[in-house]
Amino acid sequence: MTQPLTLSSLPLFPLGSVLFPGGTLALRVFEVRYLDMVRKCHQAGAPFGVVSLTQGQEVRQAGAPDERFNDVGTLAVIEKLDNPQPGLITLLCRGSQRFGITQRHHLLHGLWTADVQHIEQDLVVPIPEDLQKTATALAQVMHTLQQRDPGAPNAFTPTAAQLDDCGWVANRWCELLPVPLELKQRLMELDNPLVRLELVGDVLERTGIAQ
């Protein structure tokens, strides 16, 4: 049995959202603890880790509860970095591989780092006939988004291969659906992409999006 790939001292960015593999993430960075971190990651061509908060806020505030976050997150690869004004960096990132935290460290200036193990990427599982409606509805939604805002990160036409991949379709729906953060986290952590899509299909049926 092969040993999982490990990564030491991965810088973390705790957020009030879940990043899925293959998804896009736009960030406005202005806290000192993150400005230096994202610059160094960009210069080195290295990712940082996005983890969803279970307590605390994205921006530190006096008297606020300490930050706590989930043990499973997603690597964020910086695709575009801009510095529109001093003290502000805007990022466009893409979700890469999931990881599990084995040990976390809180540095003096407030930055979190962690030792992590990579989680295997989803196997490509073709979408079964009874779930084809989830892919059809997703294609329609993405087409509408593209017409409304052609410049948006998720405004693109998916390929036939993407629309026949359980994990890819499930992940895109998880990003779009207004479901609780805790549920998105549980769906992201699921190892079986078919089960993830089945659960998403249940939500779509209940909401009437995909009948």
Q: Walk me through the domains of the chain, giving residue ranges and CATH numbers.
A: 6-118 (2.30.130.40), 129-207 (1.10.4060.10)
**pLDDT grade for 210, boundaries at 50, 70 and 90:** low
Q: What is the mean pLDDT of residues 161-174?
A: 97
pLDDT in tens, 96-112: 999 999 999 999 888 99
Tracing tokens 């405004």 back to the chain, one arrives at 155
pLDDT in tens, 33-78: 899 999 999 999 999 999 999 998 877 776 677 889 999 999 999 9
Which pLDDT score is estimated for 1? 42
pTM, rounded to two decimals:
0.90
**pLDDT grade for 181, boundaries at 50, 70 and 90:** very high
In terms of Cα–Cα distance, which of 135, 185, 122, 192 is closest to 164?
Answer: 135
